[in-house]
Amino acid sequence: MSQQAVHLSGVERTFDRDQIIVSKTDLKGRIIYANEVFISLAGYSERELLGQPHSIIRHPDMPRCVFKLLWDTIEAGREIFAYVKNRSQNGDHYWVLAHVTPTFDSAGRIVSYHSNRRSPRREAVAKIEALYQELLAIERAAPDRKEGMERAFAALVGKLQAAGLPYEEFVFTL
């Protein structure tokens, strides 16, 4: 879906701190399971979600370099925590603190990915939103999408190195 075709309402949806959004994807990122909280917030039916790429809920305000970091991490067999702004079908948005993990078979091969998402602290959202706007500006200033993502990824890695923190620790300082 092109970003021009994405409708954004500007309305933020929230969910209770005791609710957990759960989804599972195959190795290509296609949804193979979605719980009721996910279905409700995303605004799609289960039938509409299953088999679709998880990016069906991607918000255009999310820097692509954050997803590169996420995929690089889980494909390497490690877990990651990340703040993500998602888009509901009707154009609303909602913030999550995602914990994404690979699922392994008995031979130690990655067979799918599992994500639990919780409602983030508002102070953390304000901080991460400022960083994401900076990364998006870098991405959008480049002559093409790939180069933009690479430049923003380098900027993100540089910020983390300057702070002396890996991303998974940085997330918890917000």
* Domains, the chain, ordered by start: 8-160 (3.30.450.20)
% of the chain at pLDDT higher than 90:
94
With CA atoms as reference, report the closest residue to 125 among 91, 68, 86. 86
The answer to whether residues 54 and 29 touch, using CB atoms and an 8 Å cutoff, is yes
Pairing verdict, β 93-104 and 21-25: unpaired
What value, to the nearest 5°, has the Cα angle with vertex 43 and ends 79 and 20?
Answer: 35
pLDDT (tens digit, 9 = 90+) per residue, 109-162? 999 999 999 999 999 999 999 999 999 999 999 999 999 999 999 999 999 999
Q: What distance in Å separates the CA atoms of residue 130 and residue 136, rounded to the nearest whole number?
A: 10
Total-model pTM: 0.92
pLDDT of residue 3: 42
Sign for the pseudo-dihedral over CA of 88, 30, 66, 20:
positive
Bridge partners of residue 99, in order along the sequence: 81, 116
Longest dimension (CA), the chain: 46
pLDDT of residue 168: 81
